[in-house]
Amino acid sequence: MFGYILRRILMMIPTLLIISVLVFILIELPPGDYFESYMAELEAQGENVDPKQIEELKREYGFDKHPVERYLIWVSGLAQGDLGYSFEYELPVNEVVGDRLFFTMLVAFVTIIVTWIIAFPIGIYSATHQYSWGDYGLTFLGLLGIATPNFLLALLLMYLANVYFDTSIGGLMAPEFVNAPMSWAKFVSILEHLWIPVIVIGTAGTAGMIRTLRANLLDELQKQYVTTAKAKGLAPFRALVKYPLRMSLNFFIADIGKLLPTIVSGAEIVAIVLSLETTGPLLIRALQSQDMYLAGSFLMFLAFLTVIGVLISDIALAILDPRIRLTGGETK
Amino acid sequence: MNLRINIFRFVAFLWLAACHLYPAAAQAPETFMEAPLLRSRVAAGQLPPIKERLPNTPKLIDLAADGNRIGRYGGRIRMLMGREKDIRMVAYYGYARLVGYNSRLELEADILERFDVQDGRQFTLHLRPGHKWSDGHPFTAEDFRFYWEDIANNKELSPGGVHRHLLVNDKPPVFEVLDNYTVRYTWDAPNPYFLSAIAGTRPLYIYAPGHFLKQFHSKYATDKANDKWASSFNKLARQELPSDMRMPTLEAWQLQTNPPSSLYEFARNPYFHRIDAKGQQLPYADYLTVAIGSNSLIPAKTGSGDSDLQGRYVRFDDYTFLKAAEKRDVIKVELWKHTVGSALAIYPNLNTKDEAWRAAFRDVNVRRALSLAINRREINKAIFFGLAKESANTVVPESPLFKPEYASAYSRFDLDEANRLLDQTILAKRGRDGIRLLPDGRRAELILETTGENTMQTDVLSLIRDSWSKIGILMYPRPTHRDLFRNRVYSGDTVISAWPGYDNGLATPDFSPLDFAPTSKQHYQWPQWGDYYWTKGRAGEAPDLPEARQLVALLKRWERSSSTDERRSIWHKMLTIHADQVFSIGTVNGSMQPVAHAPNLQNVPKNGTWSYEPSAYFGIYRPDTFWFAE
């Protein structure tokens, strides 16, 4: 087991390196760079932009170096936790990101929990009451959740919350709390705003999860051991929970790998619509203004989450599911 | 030299009317009233009393002259912005300048007590004795010396040399400190850019708080002299976009939040130099907050009453929504006027790489025909509810330089005339399907590039596409990203492009006609010629159309001119050339800008002009005089 985990962790290093090369290339690809946008902005306002000044800026930020050299500087910085410098904000990326990362995690975490709390009972109900009115009704709701575009739902909920609950539009808290230290009132204000993004981001995921749980559980329930258990007079609840449910739970765990990045990145559009103080709007803005270190470090962060998520789910699966053999092909 | 910028004729009329209503100009008050917010700090001895904080002669704002009312202290003006750099709007809206425009667009002393100009080349600036920075340190000639010697002429801080507008014939001025409150700049020849540069929306700051900045300057603090000091100094010293709340200011409100943040707070500057006739120190509002969020949400938030003063990021499309919110009594909406020469103009690229099209566009009849084949009435009715004005791309009617013939030049809808003109050009031949042919045999198909940033542009272009097809020219609009768009126009890959018209549609004779001559690569009709002028011939190409060369010559004459009359005649010559030559093709101008404000926010004009320059958006209407009624 230990050897397996170690091997998986070592595998992460080349994976992340390859991703970092791809991210760097992608960010370098579009024509122009931040300095050109900056120069155009200054010129549009009648400023005298001396090409020498731009050269100076480029030199200062190492843009006169060869891309490979710049890549190496960036990556070695990343390895030491230095995310680089944001041109747009004129601050180190670490400072720009600040508590946005915390709020992103908060939204993601609450969303995952809520998704599970809703999806779990509904999935079980749908599977055990297959083709009943309840099954159809809940399936319909679930499909509606998948089919409704996130941004639309976000706008609708935001409007309704504003009109009926008098919640301020957008953001994760009422404006007066933004710079205030954490307090009970601020916490309540965050809760008041948090449910909208949680519902919006959660709906699509919940519906998907209900469908998978239902399908997996149905497969199990038709197996002979279940029939045998029932025939032997095992209580229906025990006959459901003891083995079939456990078997159908594999995907929950396998899903963690996908879950982390989709919730962090899938939340981006919603975060822009809702104007949340999370990392999403920052990333989009950075990509638009070609603020390359900010954007690049963000993308790397997402990639890192994915890799970590896959690792966690693999380890958890290996522990929880005795059918999975760690030695892989060796025994064949 | 006549210092007063010419007055708009219609505003002048209002002004005269106002003079009748309020015959006596405001008297300077004898006593001053302390703002309630500051009373406790004054009582505790943390702040000197108001009399000692104000300059010996404060700037008296005559509210009655503008038909406004004297207000009362207190309140918080909340605003919404789309990006953090937008906090510079506070310095634009606050509009404290050495000299600045008032709401009648006359140039007057603001931070300065007065200024004298001789022959347009010697500028003597008199400061207000007793004027202080927001931290209480005196504002004196030393702050001008610090800027001139230690910033403008410091090789590391200003690697590009002193600012363009401080150079005449490439030579800097002679700078003299006459006494503690008087400085003088002298050039060999007239500098027509100096006053408008220091009065600008994003002004040329020729002073800096030396007492604060010296501790970060390598000359005074040798321990700071590493190779990064210059960029951190420049960032800290920025006055229009403050990056540190310790940086003192002369503006009405001072930053209270260090970046980055999604909510910036500004609080009243206790040393601000403006007062009202009752002896109250401006600004009336104690606080001003700028919340940063998605700009697409700003109209919705404005409509729910989350903003007390909003013009930026709300557009005419949002007007009906905002009007509906007005019924719920959370905001009030006014309609102001845009002053760009044209809401959307079309720029045939005279420097395009495509030789056939380049030859075609250089024929004035092609440009005229393209202009005649636009149905401006239809555009106005369909997209602007008929509220805009059909016009060529030129100055707007509110400008004292306006003449009806500039607006009507080739701006009627006349397909027959357009076809007749085109038949005299190299596009005379048509294919079997009626589409004209270029001399090299290609069909006359134009890819028109835009930034596609809003639906108004695409809507207008699809109407133009329909009418152009009737003169045998096919046009396909193609949106590209803004930066790419600029670069493609400049390199000549773009044949024809669309972008809003002239920025300074409100021009007066004393405004520079830079935008009306090929002077910048941001001019999408002649980017190469513009770059040639801007870089003094180091890049780009020299203009080869006689009319374009004439425009440059006229601009140079304007720069050397010393009287307003001479400038006016030069402006008219340039505008006539533009009307005749149709270098850019206008559609409509005078479109509307909704301005939303809190229902109880007073002194917000019902009719204003919405422009970056010269009105600094709200700046010339002095938001420091806006106040909250009960």
Q: Are residues A48 and B261, on separate chains, in Cβ contact within 8 Å?
A: no
Residue B188's pLDDT is 92
Per-residue pLDDT for B334 more than 90? yes
Taking the C-alpha atoms of residue A169 and residue A159, their distance in angstroms, rounded to an integer, is 7
Distance from CA of A272 to the nearest CA of B (A): 6
Query: CB count, 10 Å around CB of A125?
Result: 16
Distance from CA of A206 to the nearest CA of B (A): 27
Per-residue pLDDT for A266 more than 50? yes
Residue B16's pLDDT is 42
Residue B24's pLDDT is 47
Token representation of residue B466: 């329909």
Max mean pLDDT range (B19-28, B289-298, B598-607): B598-607
Residue bearing tokens 């079997």: B432
SS (H, E, C) B590-621: CCEEEEEECCCEECCCCCCEECCCCCCCCHHH
Interface test with B, best of A90, A101, A285 (most B CBs within 10 A): A90
Residue B22's pLDDT is 43
Rounded to 5 degrees, φ, ψ at B601 are: -80, 120
The region of weakest confidence among A97-101, A142-146, B275-279, B437-441 is: A97-101
The region of weakest confidence among A16-25, A246-255, B303-312, B590-599 is: A246-255
B289 CB near a chain A CB, below 8 Å? yes
Residue A330's pLDDT is 47
Closest C-alpha among A247, A262, A248, A242 to residue A305? A262
To the question of pTM greater than 0.90 for the whole model, the response is: no
Q: Which amino acid is at A194?
A: L
Taking the C-alpha atoms of residue A158 and residue A219, their distance in angstroms, rounded to an integer, is 40
Taking the C-alpha atoms of residue B416 and residue B422, their distance in angstroms, rounded to an integer, is 10
B257 CB near a chain A CB, below 8 Å? yes
Question: In this predicted model, which residue has the larger pLDDT, A154 or B252?
Answer: B252
Question: In this predicted model, which residue has the larger pLDDT, B91 or A39?
Answer: B91
Residue A41's pLDDT is 67
In the predicted model, what is the mean pLDDT of residues B290-295? 86
Per-residue pLDDT for B297 more than 90? no
Taking the C-alpha atoms of residue B396 and residue B289, their distance in angstroms, rounded to an integer, is 34
Q: Are residues B484 and A272, on separate chains, in Cβ contact within 8 Å?
A: no
Full DSSP string of B183-239: EEEE-SS--TTHHHHHTSSS-------HHHHGGGSTTT-GGG-STTHHHHHHHHH-S
The DSSP secondary-structure symbol of B524 reads T
The region of weakest confidence among A213-217, B2-6, B498-502 is: B2-6
Of A37, A98, A162, the CB nearest to B483: A37
In the predicted model, what is the mean pLDDT of residues A190-198? 85
Per-residue pLDDT for B608 more than 60? yes
Residues of B in contact with A40 (CB under 8 A): 483, 486, 522
Token representation of residue B407: 């607006």
Task: Count helices and strands (H / E) in chain A.
Answer: 15, 2
Taking the C-alpha atoms of residue A149 and residue B304, their distance in angstroms, rounded to an integer, is 24
Integer Rg of chain B from CA: 26
In the predicted model, what is the mean pLDDT of residues B465-493? 88
Residue A8's pLDDT is 85
Per-residue pLDDT for B535 more than 90? no
Q: Tell me what percent of the residues of chain B surpass a pLDDT of 90.
A: 65
Q: What is the b/e burial string over B299-319, where b = at least 16 CB atoms within 10 angstroms of the residue's CB?
A: bbbbbbbbbbbbbbbbbbebb
**Reported ipTM exceeds the 0.90 cut:** no
Closest C-alpha among B278, B276, B250, B249 to residue B59? B276
Closest C-alpha among B251, B169, B153 to residue B206? B153
Taking the C-alpha atoms of residue B165 and residue B187, their distance in angstroms, rounded to an integer, is 12
The region of weakest confidence among B218-232, B348-362, B602-616 is: B218-232
Residues of A in contact with B297 (CB under 8 A): 169-170, 273-275
Rounded to 5 degrees, φ, ψ at B277 are: -70, -15
Residue B626's pLDDT is 96
H or E stretch covering B143:
helix B141-145
Confidence of residue A45 (pLDDT cuts 50, 70, 90): low
Query: CB count, 10 Å around CB of B513?
Result: 24
Q: Which amino acid is at A139?
A: T
Taking the C-alpha atoms of residue A254 and residue B304, their distance in angstroms, rounded to an integer, is 44
The region of weakest confidence among A4-13, A251-260, B112-121 is: A251-260
The average confidence (pLDDT) of chain B is: 89
Cα–Cα distance list, A32 to A43, A174, A322, B487 (Å): 16, 39, 54, 9
Token representation of residue A272: 């822009």
What are residue A26's DSSP bridge partners?
A: none
For A49-87, write each residue's pLDDT tens digit.
666 667 777 777 777 788 888 888 888 888 887 878 887
Per-residue pLDDT for B5 more than 60? no
Per-residue pLDDT for B67 more than 70? yes
Residues of A in contact with B243 (CB under 8 A): 90
Per-residue pLDDT for A22 more than 70? yes
Q: What is the b/e burial string over B521-534, where b = at least 16 CB atoms within 10 angstroms of the residue's CB?
A: bbbbbbbbbbbbbb
Per-residue pLDDT for B605 more than 70? yes
Q: Which residues contact B404 (CB under 8 A, 6 or more apart)?
A: none
Let me know the angle formed at the C-alpha of B610 by B608 and B613, rounded to the nearest 5 degrees: 120
Residues of B in contact with A279 (CB under 8 A): none
SS (H, E, C) B85-140: HHHHHHHHHHCCCCEEECCCCCEEECCEEEEEEECCCEEEEEECCCCECCCCCECC
Residue A104's pLDDT is 80
Greatest Cα pair distance, chain A, in angstroms, is 89
In the predicted model, what is the mean pLDDT of residues B73-82? 93
Residue bearing tokens 């926010």: B601
Taking the C-alpha atoms of residue A304 and residue A309, their distance in angstroms, rounded to an integer, is 8
Token representation of residue B280: 């109250």
Contact B627, B309 (CB under 8 A): no
Contact A104, A192 (CB under 8 A): no
Of A48, A158, A290, the CB nearest to B160: A48
Token representation of residue B101: 């425009």
Q: Nearest chain A Cα to B84, which residue?
A: A89
Per-residue pLDDT for B115 more than 70? yes
Rounded to 5 degrees, φ, ψ at A282 are: -65, -45
Interface test with A, best of B233, B263, B482 (most A CBs within 10 A): B263
For B139-194, write each residue's pLDDT tens digit.
999 999 999 999 999 988 887 788 888 999 889 999 999 999 999 999 999 998 89
Cα–Cα distance list, A230 to A227, A233, A244, B211, B570 (Å): 5, 5, 12, 87, 100
The average confidence (pLDDT) of chain A is: 80
User: Cα torsion at B370, B371, B374, B377 (round to 10°)?
Assistant: -170
Per-residue pLDDT for A15 more than 60? yes
Residue B90's pLDDT is 94
Q: Are residues B159 and A52, on separate chains, in Cβ contact within 8 Å?
A: yes
Q: Nearest chain A Cα to B305, which residue?
A: A168
Residues of B in contact with A158 (CB under 8 A): 300
Residue bearing tokens 């890549």: A71
B1 CB near a chain A CB, below 8 Å? no
B294 CB near a chain A CB, below 8 Å? yes
Contact B438, B357 (CB under 8 A): yes
For B375-404, write each residue's pLDDT tens digit.
999 999 998 888 899 999 999 998 889 999
Q: Are residues A275 and B163, on separate chains, in Cβ contact within 8 Å?
A: no
H or E stretch covering A328:
none
Q: Are residues A162 and B294, on separate chains, in Cβ contact within 8 Å?
A: no
